[in-house]
Amino acid sequence: SQTIHQWPATLVQPVGSPLSLECTVEGTSNPNLYWYRQAAGRGLQLLFYSVGIGQISSEVPQNLSASRPQDRQFILSSKKLLLSDSGFYLCAWSVLRARDLSGANTGELFFGEGSRLTVL
């Protein structure tokens, strides 16, 4: 069966320090991978998604970046954290070629446990 892990679960960092959140998926190949940020009252904001190794799409301008060095590994990074980067970060994957009645990707997402980042 497929599993997704992300770490660390919690992180407290000073302003201006670097960030690295890691996410790995097991039990599937060539998944779509996503990073979402969740802030109170704002739902889930899509930050990055990737359809393959080295392929990253950015959804919002910010001081965060993402990389996909391996098929099932997705990393969220920052060189210098801001206070506004605090939040709950969620990694997710979906099956690129899952089949529904029309043969398209159904878009169902499978989420990791989340990483809570506090920037002080």
Distance CA 100, CA 30 (A): 18
Contact range with other proteins by CB under 8 A, out of 13-21, 60-68, 77-85, 89-97: 89-97
| 67-71 long-range contacts, CB within 8 A, separation 24+ | 68/33, 71/29, 71/30, 71/31
Contact range with other proteins by CB under 8 A, out of 11-19, 64-72, 74-82, 111-119: 111-119
Distance CA 97, CA 89 (A): 25
Closest CA to 98 of 23, 29, 50: 29
Interaction between residue 112 and other proteins (CB under 8 A): yes
Return the number of the residue (17 or 84) whose C-beta is nearest other proteins: 84
Q: Which of 14, 29, 41, 61 binds other proteins (CB under 8 A)?
A: 41
Q: Which of 1, 14, 29, 43 binds other proteins (CB under 8 A)?
A: 43
**Minimum CB separation from other proteins for residue 18, in Å?**
24
